[in-house]
Amino acid sequence: MTENHPRSRPFGLRALPPWSLVAAGVLTGGLLGGGYGVLKPPEYTATSYVVAVPGKGADTATALGFAQAYGRVATQIAVLGDAQEEAGVPVGALRAGVRTATSPDAPMVAVSATSERPARAAAMADAVARALTRHATAAEADTHVELRQFSRAVRPDEPSSPSPGVTGLVGASAGGLLGALALLVRPRRRPERETFLPPSVPGPAVPADAHGRR
């Protein structure tokens, strides 16, 4: 008769502690994020400012409204097309690297450009700002608002892109979060069933007088 022995647990992922998923996610994410920060070239950002000035028949509120409008127009193909020759880059690079920002309180438009070269970033920002002022001047007779360049872009000395340490921390945080989610959705281990030994069958009873007859 064969005896039933409890099955041994396979040594693998089930044998690891639950927190190992989180630790693995943090380590993997940190390595990937840090590697991305090291391999990706640094980027530089320069900003040029233009201001809307009310003319005859206009007021500050009108200038503020047109500043908001010019902030949206600055990244359109008509303005970028006029700026590409002065910036020395194609329209596609301007569209990808130029952003604008406006203020609800001041009639000013900030034109920011990002590039892998500091001098190119400043040239892109100034070129788009000047192209925007030319478009505003062409419509000044109707808008009664003049757009002037308030300050030129300064060549940046430090990159605006995150350092490898920052990207490593972001990657580690994301990896830890994914590891925690995997820990929550992983299948639960079923409790092992208790193993019972088969009951022993007693042998046939021998009468007491059988010993005396021998």
Give whole-number Cα distances, 162 to 141, 157, 169, 173, in Å.
45, 14, 11, 15
The continuous run of DSSP H or E covering 134 comes out as helix 118-138
Predicted pLDDT at 174: 77
Alpha carbons 180 and 186: distance in angstroms, whole number = 10
Predicted pLDDT at 47: 95
Predicted pLDDT at 11: 47
Superfamily of the domain at 44-151: EIF_2_alpha (3.30.70.1130)
Q: For the chain, which residues score pLDDT lower than 70?
A: 1-16, 18-22, 25-26, 30, 33-40, 160-168, 176, 179, 183, 186-214
For the full predicted model, state whether its pTM sits above 0.75: no
